[in-house]
Amino acid sequence: MTIDYAHARELMVEQQVRPWDVLDMAVLDVIGRLPREAFVAEQHQALAYADIELPLGHGEKMMKPVVEGRALQALQLRPGDSVLEVGTGSGYLSACLGMLAREVVSLELVPELAAAARARLDATGLGNNVRIEVADALRYDGSRQFDAVCVTGAVAEVPERFLQWLRPGGRLFVVRGHAPSMEAVRLVKGEAVNAVAAESLFETELGYLHGAGPVPKFLF
């Protein structure tokens, strides 16, 4: 059976993403144009536009389309912005970020995922402004600052270094908390030292970034 991916993409936007309060026309346009099926394994392509997480291998999953849409909207990207993505995954969200911003630096801990994402970006002709680095975000050199930071895995607590990557006025999207009670938040860095405004966006549940889960509690 041949799948009409263009129609599936349109249905995803109109029946999933838009009803989930994604109303930014630039975000809807990008999601409505990018071939999500090109960023998943062949055996999962029929589910590329379903409202589910998709396995990427190495214990990682691709976020639901609705979460990706809300993340992109929360970052309020402008064409001149620079973006740091924590967790390249499939490379799909990297491509979306690249369509909305000037440049994207994407960090991926697993070399095989980084290579596969790069190959998908190149094969689709997308992501020419996306640079993928194999790195552990929790140990990454944070000397450079960005207009936006997008974190694609959950954290128990937001690491201070994530905020240090933001320029004044910069926006961070991240899912924080302890499963199953997690919240997606937008953090905006102020002009004053350590000034950060937090806005709760929605409740969801994501797998933790490697090394960013809750610290086990030992009972004596």
Quote the crossing angle between the two packed helices 92-100 and 65-75, to the nearest 10°: 30
Q: pTM for this structure?
A: 0.95
Beta bridge partners of 138: none
For the segment 153-168, the average pLDDT, to the nearest whole number, is 96
Q: Distance (Å, rounded) from C-alpha 207 to C-alpha 41? A: 19
Q: What is the tens place of the pLDDT at every residue in 63-76?
A: 999 999 999 999 99
For the segment 155-180, the average pLDDT, to the nearest whole number, is 95
Nearest of 140, 183, 130 to residue 164 by alpha carbon: 140
Nearest of 46, 81, 51 to residue 68 by alpha carbon: 51
